[in-house]
Amino acid sequence: MLNKNAQALIEFVLLLPVIIILIFSGIDIFNLIIKKNNLSTRVNDEIVLLESKKETFIEFEKRLESENIDITFKTNDDYIIIKAEKEVKWISPITESILSNFTISLERVIPLE
């Protein structure tokens, strides 16, 4: 009976780091999804203000850059492309070593009238 308990303990000790890595990686992925959603919502809110002429491009850019969001604009005769990027900080050192310097980005197209 003692050998089965010892074997279970050894298996648990061997699998514990894998379980911890999976838990923290799952938290990191969930955190990434939330940050992507927050970035999208934040940029869309600013675009609504921009389209309703309540703010200018300079105010738009300053407000988002104050939140460490990099903004680039590309203009055309028919539309403006706004690209937003934000760097992700990881919780897990394993995820950090695999996906270091990871940035989330999105593009929005605003048609000109």
Q: Give 20-38 pLDDT, tens digit per residue.
A: 988 988 999 899 999 999 9
Separation CA 67–CA 85 (nearest Å)? 11
Contact predicate 46/59, CB 8 Å:
no
Cβ atoms of 46 and 55 closer than 8 Å: yes
95 residue type, one letter: T
Could you count the other beta carbons within 10 Å of the beta carbon of residue 69?
A: 19
- With 90 as the cut, is the pLDDT of residue 92 above it? no
Helices (H), ranges, 52-92 = 57-65
Percent of the chain with pLDDT over 90: 20
Tens-digit pLDDT profile for residues 72-83:
888 888 888 889
**Tens of pLDDT, residues 47-90:** 888 878 777 878 888 888 888 888 888 888 888 888 999 988 88
Strand stretches in 64-111, DSSP E: 70-75, 79-87, 103-111
- pLDDT for the residue 1: 52
Cα dist from 37 to 40, 85, 105, whole Å: 5, 12, 11
Mean of pLDDT values over 97-112: 85
Which residue has 């809110």 as its token pair?
45
Query: What 3-state DSSP class applies to 92?
Result: coil
**The model scores a pTM over 0.85:** no
d(CA 75, CA 24): 41
> Is the predicted pLDDT of residue 44 greater than 70, yes or no?
yes
